[in-house]
Structure 1
Amino acid sequence: MGKTNILLKSGTGEVEVLEFVVSGKHYAINVIKTREIVKIEKYTKMTCNNPAVAGVSLLRDNIISLIDLKYVLDNESMKNIEKGKTALICEFNKTKVAFLVDEVLGIHRISWEQIEKTDDLMGDSLIIGNIKMKDKILMFLDFEKILVNIKEANGVCDKANNDVNYDAGRNKYKIALADDSYTIRAMLKDALKESGYTNLSFFQNGHEVLEYLYDLKDKKGERFLENVDLLITDIEMPKMDGHTLTRKIKIDKELKKLPVVIFSSLITPELYHKGEEVGADAQISKPDIDKLVGILDELLERE
């Protein structure tokens, strides 16, 4: 299977997911994260303390790290990689990487509402949500968290907020944030508070924050902006994605006044137009917190 096709319009409430198998279990990834599906015929083992990194391979003159999803998910290394393994070539957070899987089964078009949030008993797991199919459950994986965990295990940490100075004047602004990842919410909370943006309200998905905004609008009308000055949203979230959330806000005659910033690993040159189509005021790729703070300053008309 070669390059995937991105068929969906933005903000429709639908997503195309690629179904694949690792150790007999069925998983899913957003199609737009998958650049290619290839067969890895040759690879080089690397001296690495993290067994989740199987090695590297050469793909059209690019050296790409191979992530062993079997080890990530089951703590057991894949066998016979040298005989050829299927790999999902993905690019997000400005990183191109190959995830080794056992088999790719196909593409499904579903509603974001079909992705059920994982039980809180699972804690900060690698599963964004579960997708109920007719005869099985697909586990929707958090690939960004997988990479973050591998980097941290190797002693590499993304520095999120190097060049932003603290300004107490920022604390007068009320900012709502929607992101299903505990890791990203914690990172945003720490980094924004360090910059002076301390008046923060967090939501776990687009549905939660939209209900909050509708409630504010019902109670206060055009004065809803007294309670919230700006929204920062991820794209991939169970129940309602960030593109759909942004579109619903921007077609509402009152809510459209709210500035919306999309903060996501899916902000790439190829996909930037999707945020424009739904009316986002700005789009920033994770994990550029310093750029995010600069955009907040501009949108909030700070002097």
Structure 2
Amino acid sequence: MSTVAEKQGILLESGTNEIELIEFYLGSQSFGINVHKLREIIPYDEAKTTILPESPPSVVGTFLVRGNTIPLIDLNVHLRRNPGEAAPTAGRQVVLVCEFNRCVNGFLVDGVNQIHRVSWKQIQPLSAFIGRYRPRFTGSFEIDGREILIVDLEHIVAELDPEAGLSYTAPEAVPVSAPTELSLEERRGQCRLFMAEDSAIIRESILRILHSSGYTQICAFVDGEACYDEILVRKKNLKNGDGGEDQLFDLLISDIEMPKLDGLTLCRRVKEDPLLKHIPVIMFSSLITEQMVFHCQQVGADGYISKPQITELVAMIDGYLLK
């Protein structure tokens, strides 16, 4: 079976600030995930499931897909829902086979509805309070009078497997072309970074790791729109003579999935600006696959790294700014 994106003929033009979300059901409530994470949808077959003793309650076990076994997570159980109410599809449960963060996992749900193409501006982020304490959802959008919550599958997997979260091992020092008395940390401290990341937990983790490695001049933004608004302010100040080139920044790190303005659109806007196009842009996202690399290249991204490979991210920043 081909991927859902291939079956539907889906290939969004890069940098249009649109997303395609597949709507699925848990009971009668609608949820959604990015189609780019979905490899395929297959009927749930208990005979292909192997129960794992002493596993977390939401981990059903392993599920056999074309001769390969993948972890199977029951979203009803993990989200602490009561699955007693029947789904509108009134059929067999299905498994969403998803790929992100270089891993493949299966998610057991009660049914699927359809794919929706929406603008990121239609996605409403969760309030900062809810996002901090209930980070299993990244936002919501409204379709035909019903609210659809967007599930943060990456956070769910990290809850079950802490090793899937961000971890950092210091890379080897980057050689310099000329002698210098500055240490690696001091050289990193002279660089000015912009970062757009909508997840408060991931944003704080990246900041903590970058700060500990010496990158201390970082402006972090809750989404691509907030980041681009600040870029416009700095460009205006520079044009008006309110400061020199230090009004700008040396490198931009951006997630791809973000409400209001996604990372691909943010990157495209930077690279289409004659004043900014020389600034390196690194896409740091769980969505980095062969197909997504193509999209990153289309908008002019200089680099792309899959979460949670933050050691590689630090090394790539060094490569652009310290050589």
What TM-score comes out, normalization by structure 1 length? 0.92
- Structure 2 CA distance for partners of 1:50 and 1:77, relative to 1, 3 Å: farther
In the alignment, the residues of structure 2 paired with residue 32 and residue 139 of structure 1 have an alpha-carbon distance, to the nearest angstrom, of 17
1:87 equivalent to 2:95? Answer: yes
- Structure 2 CA distance for partners of 1:277 and 1:89, relative to 1, 3 Å: same
Q: Is the 8 A contact 1:68 1:100 kept in 2?
A: yes
Partner of 1:161: 168
Instruction: Give the C-alpha shift of residue 158 in structure 1.
Output: 4.2
In the alignment, the residues of structure 1 paired with residue 203 and residue 232 of structure 2 have an alpha-carbon distance, to the nearest angstrom, of 23
In the alignment, the residues of structure 2 paired with residue 84 and residue 104 of structure 1 have an alpha-carbon distance, to the nearest angstrom, of 10
In the alignment, the residues of structure 2 paired with residue 113 and residue 64 of structure 1 have an alpha-carbon distance, to the nearest angstrom, of 34
Partner of 1:51: 57
Q: Is the 8 A contact 2:166 2:205 kept in 1?
A: no
1:74 match: secondary structure:
coil
Output aligned runs, 1:250-289, within 5 Å: 250-289=271-310
Instruction: Give the C-alpha shift of residue 189 in structure 1.
Output: 1.2
- Structure 2 CA distance for partners of 1:244 and 1:225, relative to 1, 3 Å: farther
Output aligned runs, 1:168-183, within 5 Å: 168-183=186-201
2:79 match: secondary structure:
helix
In the alignment, the residues of structure 1 paired with residue 84 and residue 295 of structure 2 have an alpha-carbon distance, to the nearest angstrom, of 37
1:36 equivalent to 2:62? Answer: no
1:145 match: secondary structure:
helix
Instruction: Give the C-alpha shift of residue 49 in structure 1.
Output: 3.6
Q: Is the 8 A contact 2:171 2:311 kept in 1?
A: yes
**Stretch moving more, 219-228 or 201-210:** 219-228
Partner of 2:105: 97
Indicate which of 21, 35, 40 corresponds to 2:25: 21
In the alignment, the residues of structure 2 paired with residue 211 and residue 257 of structure 1 have an alpha-carbon distance, to the nearest angstrom, of 19
Segments ≥4 residues shifted beyond 6 Å: none
Instruction: Give the C-alpha shift of residue 157 in structure 1.
Output: 5.6
Instruction: Give the C-alpha shift of residue 45 in structure 1.
Output: 1.0
How large is the RMSD of aligned CA atoms in angstroms?
2.1
- Structure 2 CA distance for partners of 1:105 and 1:294, relative to 1, 3 Å: same
In the alignment, the residues of structure 1 paired with residue 126 and residue 302 of structure 2 have an alpha-carbon distance, to the nearest angstrom, of 30
2:211 match: secondary structure:
helix
Output aligned runs, 1:47-196, within 5 Å: 47-74=53-80, 85-124=93-132, 125-152=135-162, 156=163, 158=165, 160-164=167-171, 167-196=185-214
1:279 match: secondary structure:
coil
In the alignment, the residues of structure 2 paired with residue 65 and residue 77 of structure 1 have an alpha-carbon distance, to the nearest angstrom, of 20
In the alignment, the residues of structure 2 paired with residue 193 and residue 93 of structure 1 have an alpha-carbon distance, to the nearest angstrom, of 23
In the alignment, the residues of structure 2 paired with residue 94 and residue 135 of structure 1 have an alpha-carbon distance, to the nearest angstrom, of 35
Indicate which of 205, 216, 222 corresponds to 1:198: 216
Indicate which of 230, 245, 248 corresponds to 2:251: 230
Question: Which protein has the larger Cα radius of gyration, Structure 1 or Structure 2?
Answer: 2
1:212 match: secondary structure:
helix
Instruction: Give the C-alpha shift of residue 121 in structure 1.
Output: 3.1
Give ranges in structure 1 of 5+ residues lacking alignment: none
CA deviation digits over 1:130-157, x for unaligned, max 9?
Answer: 10222101111111111111113xxx46
Code of the residue aligned with 1:55 in structure 2: it is G
Q: Is the 8 A contact 1:160 1:288 kept in 2?
A: yes
How many aligned positions are there? 296
Q: Is the 8 A contact 2:21 2:117 kept in 1?
A: yes
**Stretch moving more, 161-170 or 18-27:** 161-170
**Stretch moving more, 209-218 or 227-236:** 227-236
Instruction: Give the C-alpha shift of residue 227 in structure 1.
Output: 3.9
Partner of 1:3: 3
In the alignment, the residues of structure 1 paired with residue 224 and residue 251 of structure 2 have an alpha-carbon distance, to the nearest angstrom, of 14
In the alignment, the residues of structure 1 paired with residue 153 and residue 231 of structure 2 have an alpha-carbon distance, to the nearest angstrom, of 30
- Structure 2 CA distance for partners of 1:243 and 1:157, relative to 1, 3 Å: closer
CA deviation digits over 1:218-237, x for unaligned, max 9?
Answer: 11139455442111000000
Give ranges in structure 2 of 5+ residues lacking alignment: 86-90, 173-183
Give the percent of matched residue pairs that are identical in Structure 1 and Structure 2. Answer: 36
- Structure 2 CA distance for partners of 1:193 and 1:78, relative to 1, 3 Å: farther
CA deviation digits over 1:63-93, x for unaligned, max 9?
Answer: 11111100121255789xxx95201100001
Instruction: Give the C-alpha shift of residue 267 in structure 1.
Output: 0.9
- Structure 2 CA distance for partners of 1:60 and 1:78, relative to 1, 3 Å: farther
